Structure 1
């Protein structure tokens, strides 16, 4: 009978592997940065100096443009290395695109602020690269030399044979012997090997942070501006859709009743003298039309911003819209006592109102459930029905309008509606 021993993988093995891999990446990054930094510094400083010096004869414009384009290429190579060191992706800036005539296209790099930041990075990276290279080489030399010192101590000159040749122990005032010397240097190698990942990681991050600030910070600003611009466009589009819908609803509903009301009142006025009974009947019909127009206007106003939302808050407004739904609605609202921001409340109410309207018109559902609550820093609104499914966020339709409205407040709309159902609409928007 044989026995086998199962070796279970330890949790430290993947960690050690990650540390070793990151240390090698950081070391390679620091070692390569010195020759690249020397080349970039020489190229940019020389190019800028020659370009500025020859601007008077216009040759300098082409030299400066070429120098900035070369700095852009070096910056692109640096950005490609940053994710491995920083451990996260980095944004890439949008450079100015050449347009216009030849002179304008030639001046494009000179008009681009990011091109000058690339050139500045090429100049400032050299001293940091020298530091990173020196520290990395020193730590690797200490670690490898110390750990292997026992193997090559015999090849070194004997310090006792030459009074002017002293080892570290003698410099520190201790008696020196081969055993003590080997023990000291191996101990130093162990300490250097332990500190190697931390020290190399530190200098690599120092250099990478310089690249992140100069080469990607403007890209992050551009991305934020783009996000705000898209949110603004989404808000404009959502408001335009809402206004068109309101105009259509007013035209098809209250406006028709009011036109009919005006016609009935004019007819009643003509009937007063010759047929008072018919005039009273017409006035009665006009009163019915007036009440119907008033009810439709109230319904339209509730769709925009119901008074109960402003007076009693989101929970009461959602209960009211659920009560008016032709499809039975189960509602679960878990909100704190303090009121949310008005924009958040209005958006959440509009999402539920529009989603319930879509359920009633298109889904054929028998029951619908609405859940509203907090999820971390987000307000989460879920509307789910047991209808036929197949809902799509088609531009120009209700769900697309919901997505635009949410995007305007940094929210996100997710629709899961396979054919045959159920349909689950989830809206997440910032809590504050």
Structure 2
């Protein structure tokens, strides 16, 4: 009895996953019909380029649309298999030449074109099979029950047999329903898994592509780091030349003049010495400010938690600061970058966001130090307008980190940074 109960329960246990598989294949079959439009559109763009040259600006946008369409299906396949995939962020650069170079140097372009052919052919067939499996049993029941409504010269058919009486309707209907259920329970799930795995295999970069993309990313980030470093050196030199050096020159001139007139006019010499002392104090203050921009001393004295608390206390906008209890050992470069991100974000919020409150979260995962700054301001951050985000992005990229900005019009603005610091 227990064995028969288990056998009876098996199809019921398979049904939810079988239905999900069938719906996935049906959705894929439906999108395969839409994908039929892709080859004609690409052919039209190619003809316009060859004949008139007018289609040249359209090519990058056409292939960008293909990329988004394929990534959508890659996400569907990943969700069906229960795996996680990361969608690469490849923003289109400005300028037609740069866009064309960006498009045709994309190593995934041949794979996407191959996926189009596979999705249209086998994908459409798999979708039709899934639809037949879903409608097999209900269609057999309805057809077997209503066979008598069909004209005698055009009877309904079940399992390829004409149905003209109830015994044929019952036997053929049962056989067709059982076939549909069997296909749904035992045929569609492996077919859906095969389709999803094929989609992921076609739309996932190979190891060589990943290595090439990694090298390209590192090249860009290192170039950005070099540029940021050069700009930082120029700023430090400018600050020292225009500020500290000028004060030291004035200090030396006052001391020299005071030495020459010490015997003739002691009062004037004393006044010059007092001015020189004030100038020396101002020069030391400016020098400390310059040093603080290189590596804030507070980081060495109080660590990142104390430095972030100091930034929050000095902010003109109320800041709610949450720092993890144990950040562990954080490299000095990572600490400095995190400090810079918090300081720059608070400054930007005070200057541009019209915010009334800021939330700062600092946490540690096994591999990353994460910093999150959220303000309730007006939003609409535009990196191209010198918002300071570009400088943060260069600093973060130099450490192989990631920076994500979310700032819709009307707010809020969120800046999230992940800096690798695994031991």
Q: TM-score range by the shorter chain?
A: 0.5 to 0.7
Shift, 1:140, TM fit: 6.1
**TM-score w.r.t. structure 1 length?**
0.54
CA radius of gyration, larger in: 1
Shift, 1:430, TM fit: 1.0
Cα pair distance change 1:331/1:119, threshold 3 Å: closer
Deviations along 1:128-179, whole A, 9 cap, x unmatched? x99x989x9799699959958978579879xxxxxxxxxxxxxxxxxxx997
Deviations along 1:249-301, whole A, 9 cap, x unmatched? 22332122111111112212322444444333322322221111111111222
Cα pair distance change 1:188/1:431, threshold 3 Å: same
Let me know the Cα RMSD of the aligned residues. Answer: 5.8
Cα pair distance change 1:27/1:280, threshold 3 Å: closer
Provide the rounded CA distance (Å) in 2 between the counterparts of 1:417 and 1:26: 35
| 5+ long unaligned stretches in structure 2 | 1-16, 33-64, 78-85, 91-103, 148-156, 163-167
SS at match of 1:197: helix
Deviations along 1:291-324, whole A, 9 cap, x unmatched? 111111112222332222123222211233455x
Equivalent residues, number: 333
Q: From 203, 228, 251, give the equivalent of 2:194.
A: 203
SS at match of 2:326: coil
**TM-score w.r.t. structure 2 length?**
0.55
The yes-or-no answer on 1:262 pairing with 2:264 is no
Q: From 333, 342, 346, give the equivalent of 2:322.
A: 333
Match of 2:24 in 1: 22
> Where in structure 2 are the equivalents of 1:30-429 lying within 5 Å?
83-84=72-73, 87=76, 147=140, 183=174, 186-212=177-203, 222-323=212-313, 325=314, 327=316, 330-339=319-328, 340-357=330-347, 369=358, 371-374=360-363, 378-382=370-374, 393-394=383-384, 398-408=388-398, 409-414=401-406, 426-429=414-417
| 5+ long unaligned stretches in structure 1 | 1-14, 31-75, 94-108, 158-176
Cα pair distance change 1:326/1:292, threshold 3 Å: farther
Provide the rounded CA distance (Å) in 2 between the counterparts of 1:226 and 1:195: 45
More displaced stretch, 375-384 vs 143-152: 143-152
Cα pair distance change 1:396/1:358, threshold 3 Å: closer
Shift, 1:227, TM fit: 4.1
